Amino acid sequence: MSDTQLRTEFNEWARAGKGESMERGHRPVGEQAIAKMRVTPEARVLDVGCGSGWATRLLADFAFNGRVTGIDISDEMVRVARESSHTYANVDYEIASAEELPFPDDEFTHAFSMESLYYYRNIPKALSQIHRVLKAGGLFVAVVDLYWENEATHQWFDTLKVPVELLSIDDYRSLFIDAGFKNIADERLIDPTPIPDDYTGGSFKSREDLVSYREAGSLMISGEAAK
């Protein structure tokens, strides 16, 4: 699938209001991951695949004397993100592919990516770009729900209209190492939101699948840029 096809699909998501619904779905775990990043007031942060920009704005609350940039391949997602962020003086957005980041080397102190990595056509290239734009020792934190060890998420292969990479925790660790990251860590984050007794389907075929997904948790993987 080309970047244009990816953009078209995610533009449709944005027009259908999925940017906002993804915030509801991703925020309970995203907040936990961002809290662990220890973003300083002067930090310069990149949010890769920012969607509607909810995490970009949350990061900007921590980096109140710094700057946070969200990038997304979908121009409609970026339009939604810009509209929702007009009160933030320290936030900006760019339409860009993770595989070709339009920033100089060593520009950022932190990078974040929520539920976005496994859509990339070339994950090694994207990780190498994220490594390039981070300063030495800069921290990259990624969160993914779709990964090998979380079996309930494999059903998304049948419902997603875009190709995705199903990788294991070890695969992610190896990709981070190959891209030049050190001190790699992985952790499962648990969404504590109550599951309705009468759940009849949505992202999952059954309540049992949703429970199993929640028990496996979201995978947070992090690394520091070695330079």
Binding site for ligand SAM (CB under 6 A): 6, 10, 22-23, 26, 49-52, 55, 71-74, 77, 97-99, 114-116, 119-120
- Contact by Cβ (8 Å): 33, 55: no
CB 210, min distance to ligand SAM, A: 17
Nearer to ligand SAM, 84 or 109 (CB): 84
CB 79, min distance to ligand SAM, A: 12
Gap between the Cα atoms of 41 and 64, Å rounded: 5
Nearer to ligand SAM, 129 or 137 (CB): 129
Gap between the Cα atoms of 183 and 19, Å rounded: 32
CB 64, min distance to ligand SAM, A: 21
Nearer to ligand SAM, 162 or 197 (CB): 162
CB 197, min distance to ligand SAM, A: 27
Nearer to ligand SAM, 74 or 85 (CB): 74
Gap between the Cα atoms of 36 and 4, Å rounded: 34
